[in-house]
Structure 1
Amino acid sequence: MEYVWKQKPKASQSAIEKLGKEINVNPILANMLINRGVETFDQAKDYFRPNLSQLHSPFLMQDMDKAVDRIHQAIQSEEKILVYGDYDVDGTTAVALMYSFLKGIYTDVDFYIPDRYKEGYGISEKGVRFAAESGFTLVIALDCGIKAIDKVALASELGVDFIICDHHTPGETLPAAIAVLDSKREDCAYPYKELSGCGVGFKLIQAYAKSHGIEESRLYPYLDLVAVSIAADIVPITGENRILAFFGLDRINNNPRPGLKALIIQAKVEKEIQISDIVFKIGPRINASGRLEHAQASVELLISSNLDEAIERAKLVDEVNATRRNFDENITKEAFEMLAEREMQAEWNSTVLFKEDWHKGVIGIVASRCIEKYYRPTIILTESNNKATGSARSVVDFDIYEAIAECADLLDQFGGHKYAAGLTLSVDKVPAFQAKFEQVVKSRIEAIHLKPVIEVDDELILDQINYRFYNILKQMAPFGPGNTEPVFRISNVYAEDVTVLKDKHLRFKIVQDGQLTTPVCLGFGMADRAKDPDLTTVNMLRGRMRFDILAEIRENFFRDKSSLQLYIKDIKFD
């Protein structure tokens, strides 16, 4: 796939010089920091030295006082409390957090995760009736519920109160719950709008602790769950999320809960855990239960107090994840075949595919795979409970939620945010939806949105790549959306010592101005890139053709020795 290289803005020379002098960094680092909203010494201090005292007061969130009062009333009155959450990573970590906290101060608490296949996303009628029939009078819903107007009304008729903790975009009307905690509410003055669902749950237990004399230090063990939710739900790692992720990662690396430690062992991660490790290794294992079976297994793993028990649970989760990968590969192959056939018929700005027997649990993953190959706003649909149900994923800077909303007349329900959404409609309306969605996307999308973009922080010469520079870069972590891992352009180089690893990866060194580099370059999956059989990347590298690269700088450890390496993002030959 061809990438667009997009240079990030250059700050004014005076701003770069001022910040560089104040914090003693070179102009490249100063410009990178300004692009991340760090313009003064005090902002740099907060950025490089996050502190939990920088978190906003939870009581700035609309309805927080009502939520705290209702939970306290339930405890005082010895009511039964049900913690209810979605079946993905954000939902299961949120449930594990809220359930564990409440269990630490009160006994009559249980949790409920809806069945993806029998109940679908969010608050279900079955879940509401279960709560009422089982004597629960308060339900705390996490990572869902912002559009559950009918279900919350039914709960009220049955004598069950709801507290909603959500982070998705609200509709025009809010559910008539006791409290609706969602910083995206139009009437909510909470300063940070990008919390995960688990993050909203953390703000609620933070508020309860402040109101009832519970030491803040008792909340720290839950930060590992918050960090996992932030990474897996792909929310921006800026502001409050960056602080929560920083301390959550510290917890994961130094004193993780047994369930997460068991997952780390199972995933064979033997280095310091980063956000990317959660995204690609930990998160998918937590997600697997909810995708193929029931997410209750993931919650039980996350709340395990015994490592041996957690390891056994993690093994079962891992087996389910292996099955999930099988479904993923097979359905992705079918989707690619359908797209290849369709590509020959017309030009498309969107992808909407439907097949009645695709596994509902992996269609979100397949949507992401389709974007990796075709790079268009994508919706993958399958049949469930006699309805077409789907997962949507978007490309950079295109709001797929708004595009879906324009097709609302064809849908039974939908929800989500800018880059990911879910929807349900009648099977017979799929062709009409496909046509209308394409029309909407075509009217909204710009050409730049249809090519993947790699944002470039700055250009480096090889002499500038050293440990002093890298050690400052490292302090800019955790990296993720909104605070991406720095990418640098290195120009006019040629390769030496080119090696192909496992028939698909490249390892080589580069020469610039006659100087051979110390950092080794690694290009994963780049060995078979080619415009034609004679112009493979390997042949061009070995032919000493000049090229530019985009690369991340990383540290490699081998036999107790460390070295810097360049992880290649893209190569462009002259």
Structure 2
Amino acid sequence: MHEHLSTRSRPTLTHHSPLWSWSLPEVITPSPLAEVDLPLPLRSLLQRRGIRTVEAAEHLLDPPDLPDPEQEFPDLATAAARLARACRGGESLAICGDYDADGMTSTALLIRALRPLGADAVAAIPSRMDDGYGLNTGMVERLQAQGIRLLVTVDNGVAAVAALEKAIELDVEVIVTDHHTIPAQRPPMAALIHPATTPESSPYRGLAGVGLAYVLAEAVASRLKRPEAVATARDLFCIGTVADMAPLTGANRRWLRDGLRQLHRSRCEGLQALQRLSGLGDRPLRSDDIGFQIAPRINAVGRLGEPSLVVDLLTVEDPEAAMALARRCDDYNRQRRDLCNAIEAEAVALVEADRGTVPPFLLLAQGHWHHGVIGIVAARLVERYHRPAALLAGEGDGRLRASVRAPSGFAVDAALNSCSDLLERFGGHPAAGGFTVAAEQVHPLQERLNSLAEDWLSRQGQGIPIRPDALLSLEQVNWDLWSALQRLEPFGIGHETPLFWSRDCRVTESRTMNGGHLALKLSQGSAERRAVAWRWSDQRSVPSRCDVAFRINLNRWQGEQRLQLDVKALRPHSDSITLCRGTNRYTAARNGEGLTLSNDQGRSIEARVPAEEPLNCRDPLAQNRQVLHLLEEASLALGLRP
């Protein structure tokens, strides 16, 4: 039994099932990070991610101090001075947020900061169903009629041209904090706090809306010499940053790393209530705790209810009131989960009704689907089928509104722009977007999107890509490795949770769990580890002897903790591999701590493969660069390199 290794510079092993296409990482030897106090697989992982000096590794493990934000954001001093004046004078002002977790936490952050400083700050968040996204002219008119002359937008506003012009007309000042694309013609505003206005190398470039709100709140409190006013601001920053999947680099990484250590002791009663409802206990939190437990409970409200509920929860001071509000968020989250599962089941049935033929672009429409959750289901379909997906729900008047998600490499914004003549409204970025379309245009839209996706699939291949960071034996999955992994946290966008792989594991137990998950027990030599394959499709058979791609997680159950493998992919194990170079084919197999490489003519050479040193081969053929490269690729594919 053989596996085939392609001729790409990065060796690609393809499991011939249509489900996964494995791409193994580049060979790392010798390592320039030998002095870094991490296990070899983690040092190899860092080098593969572009961290190639000891200094860069140390900056990741212990992020450096940040520069003064007022030196990085051109309008920050102006905005902070105006808000400080509003606080001193007890002015009424509105925080105009968005209805996602980033926008709601940003709104709560500024209200919690500005009220103790003297401002009469109120929240003004549009309804997803009734108002749509962001600041609009109706909001400006209503707030002005209430006597408010100062607005601060968070996570929106930079492109709200009509609303900003209406504000000028009504003598309302607007400070915009936003991280979405700045229009070519900047609308009028009193000040703009935006990552793109900082220097290109600035550590503040990756801030989400809540990060910008945090910068602004700190600047105002500093001017008024009241640092205690922003005591909970870092906590809300952590929640919004993880929930918005902001890149965990620069300032985000520094603040999140520091903030997570204290988040479980937050003085925000609403966060404490959410932690208790989530069963997180009194322990330091990880970014996964936010992403899988806290953020969904916040996001569900913006999708199905009124965002003011979350702002009330995150600003309330009474613990009993906080718990009551948190339970309402929890109810919305259960409703969201049920809706998503029902819509996903319908969507999968629609996809697979066509006798197993999956189109290049999944465009599915049902009038009764809920606008607030179709984006979540679209993302699930992308994960399941590795296809771009758009789910459309009825909007009335013969129109449908869609949420679009796509795998890495397929640009949603470019695809929608290519279909602009068929759409009434659209927008987005490379990974996600949305549009409104007339019902009669759905069929031509699907044809065009299928054509675009087919071109993309022909270039990148049909299988779901699996790209492990490093090889681990099951024996290496232990508490020492877990402790080392904690030093690399927090993980997220821009610094992903490591994906490992292990060769030749035997499946000694396999059982289906409620919810369609698969519980496994894997053994390798004398080592045995428990594993779970989440949301495992029935069509994926489990070979008794396999290679496994997995992430390492901590399973807490009834007061006990144990390490668990979260399985991402399996493939049947092969004792040997085939490497192709044009018309030439080579076979490689392990030979103890080395390997044997043979060509079609029966000529073989042997090599020893030390873990962190160049491979050792006395055969003169190994002096040939192409042969040496073949040996290195084979050593990685056969599990002789981490």
Percent of aligned pairs sharing the same letter: 28
SS of the aligned residue for 1:325 comes to helix
From the superposition, tell whether residues 201 and 351 of structure 1 become closer, same or farther in structure 2 (CA, over 3 Å): same
1:69 counterpart = 2:81: yes
1:20 counterpart = 2:37: no
Deviation at 1:561, TM superposition (A): 5.7
2:23 aligned partner? 6
Quote the RMSD (CA, aligned, Å): 2.9
1:489 aligned partner? 501
1:44 aligned partner? 57
**Counterpart pick for 2:217 among 181, 185, 205:** 205
SS of the aligned residue for 1:380 comes to strand
1:548 aligned partner? 547
1:31 counterpart = 2:44: yes
Return the letter of the residue paired with 1:46.
H
SS of the aligned residue for 1:415 comes to strand
From the superposition, tell whether residues 218 and 85 of structure 1 become closer, same or farther in structure 2 (CA, over 3 Å): same
> What do the CA deviations read for 1:415-436 (whole angstroms, capped 9, x no partner)?
3333222333445544444444
Deviation at 1:344, TM superposition (A): 5.4
Q: Which has the larger radius of gyration?
A: 2
Q: Partners in 2 of 1:407 and 1:321 — Cα distance?
A: 34
1:219 aligned partner? 230
1:522 aligned partner? 532
> Contact conserved, 1:58 with 1:203, CA < 8 A, in 2?
no
2:372 aligned partner? 361
SS of the aligned residue for 1:456 comes to coil
Q: TM-score, normalised to structure 2's length?
A: 0.79
**Counterpart pick for 1:381 among 389, 392, 404:** 392
SS of the aligned residue for 1:83 comes to strand
> Contact conserved, 1:146 with 1:164, CA < 8 A, in 2?
yes
Q: Partners in 2 of 1:403 and 1:38 — Cα distance?
A: 33
> Contact conserved, 1:143 with 1:197, CA < 8 A, in 2?
yes
**Counterpart pick for 1:298 among 287, 293, 310:** 310
1:467 counterpart = 2:479: yes
Q: Partners in 2 of 1:183 and 1:125 — Cα distance?
A: 25
> Contact conserved, 1:143 with 1:198, CA < 8 A, in 2?
yes
Return the letter of the residue paired with 2:416.
I
Deviation at 1:49, TM superposition (A): 2.7
Q: Partners in 2 of 1:307 and 1:483 — Cα distance?
A: 36
> What do the CA deviations read for 1:342-378 (whole angstroms, capped 9, x no partner)?
x459763222333333222112112122223322222
**Counterpart pick for 1:314 among 286, 309, 326:** 326
SS of the aligned residue for 2:549 comes to strand
2:621 aligned partner? none
Deviation at 1:135, TM superposition (A): 1.3
Return the letter of the residue paired with 1:292.
L
> What do the CA deviations read for 1:451-508 (whole angstroms, capped 9, x no partner)?
4333311112344333333211121111122212222211123233555555954444
Q: Partners in 2 of 1:95 and 1:285 — Cα distance?
A: 17
> Contact conserved, 2:297 with 2:329, CA < 8 A, in 1?
yes
Q: Partners in 1 of 2:115 and 2:156 — Cα distance?
A: 21
> What do the CA deviations read for 1:118-157 (whole angstroms, capped 9, x no partner)?
1111112221111111111111111112221112111211
Name the stretch that deviates more: 459-468 or 124-133.
459-468
Q: Partners in 2 of 1:55 and 1:84 — Cα distance?
A: 28
Q: How many residues align?
A: 554
2:277 aligned partner? 266
**Counterpart pick for 2:361 among 322, 327, 350:** 350
1:136 aligned partner? 148
Deviation at 1:529, TM superposition (A): 3.8
Deviation at 1:222, TM superposition (A): 1.3
> Contact conserved, 2:90 with 2:119, CA < 8 A, in 1?
no
Return the letter of the residue paired with 1:307.
P
> What do the CA deviations read for 1:177-232 (whole angstroms, capped 9, x no partner)?
222222236997744432211112112223333444343x6535212211111221
1:279 counterpart = 2:291: yes
> What do the CA deviations read for 1:358-400 (whole angstroms, capped 9, x no partner)?
2221121121222233222222222336453222212123221
Deviation at 1:83, TM superposition (A): 0.2
Return the letter of the residue paired with 1:104.
P
1:183 counterpart = 2:195: yes
Where in structure 1 do 4 or more consecutive aligned residues deviate above 6 Å? Answer: 186-189
Name the stretch that deviates more: 99-108 or 165-174.
165-174
Q: Quick one: higher RCO (CA 8 Å, sep 6+), 1 or 2?
A: 2
Deviation at 1:321, TM superposition (A): 2.2
> Contact conserved, 2:546 with 2:570, CA < 8 A, in 1?
yes
Deviation at 1:510, TM superposition (A): 3.4
SS of the aligned residue for 2:497 comes to coil
1:229 counterpart = 2:240: yes
Deviation at 1:297, TM superposition (A): 0.6
From the superposition, tell whether residues 102 and 385 of structure 1 become closer, same or farther in structure 2 (CA, over 3 Å): farther
From the superposition, tell whether residues 558 and 301 of structure 1 become closer, same or farther in structure 2 (CA, over 3 Å): closer
1:568 aligned partner? 567
> Contact conserved, 2:116 with 2:229, CA < 8 A, in 1?
no
Q: Partners in 2 of 1:454 and 1:58 — Cα distance?
A: 43
Q: Partners in 2 of 1:371 and 1:100 — Cα distance?
A: 38
**Counterpart pick for 1:452 among 464, 469, 472:** 464
1:340 counterpart = 2:349: no
More helix by percentage: 1
SS of the aligned residue for 2:116 comes to helix
Return the letter of the residue paired with 2:33.
L
**Counterpart pick for 1:415 among 427, 439, 444:** 427
Gaps of 5+ in 1: none
Deviation at 1:309, TM superposition (A): 0.9
Return the letter of the residue paired with 2:256.
A
> Contact conserved, 2:385 with 2:464, CA < 8 A, in 1?
no
> Contact conserved, 1:86 with 1:122, CA < 8 A, in 2?
yes
Q: TM-score, normalised to structure 1's length?
A: 0.87
Q: Partners in 2 of 1:372 and 1:65 — Cα distance?
A: 44
Q: Partners in 2 of 1:553 and 1:276 — Cα distance?
A: 12
1:195 aligned partner? 207
SS of the aligned residue for 2:175 comes to strand
Deviation at 1:560, TM superposition (A): 6.0
> What do the CA deviations read for 1:290-323 (whole angstroms, capped 9, x no partner)?
2222111111111121221111111122222222
Gaps of 5+ in 2: 1-17, 574-642
Name the stretch that deviates more: 238-247 or 87-96.
238-247
Q: Partners in 2 of 1:30 and 1:163 — Cα distance?
A: 44
From the superposition, tell whether residues 77 and 242 of structure 1 become closer, same or farther in structure 2 (CA, over 3 Å): same
Return the letter of the residue paired with 1:489.
W
> Contact conserved, 1:519 with 1:563, CA < 8 A, in 2?
no
Deviation at 1:172, TM superposition (A): 2.6
1:424 counterpart = 2:436: yes
Q: Partners in 2 of 1:559 and 1:352 — Cα distance?
A: 43
Q: Partners in 1 of 2:121 and 2:58 — Cα distance?
A: 41
> Contact conserved, 1:60 with 1:189, CA < 8 A, in 2?
no
Return the letter of the residue paired with 1:573.
P
SS of the aligned residue for 2:330 comes to helix
From the superposition, tell whether residues 75 and 433 of structure 1 become closer, same or farther in structure 2 (CA, over 3 Å): farther
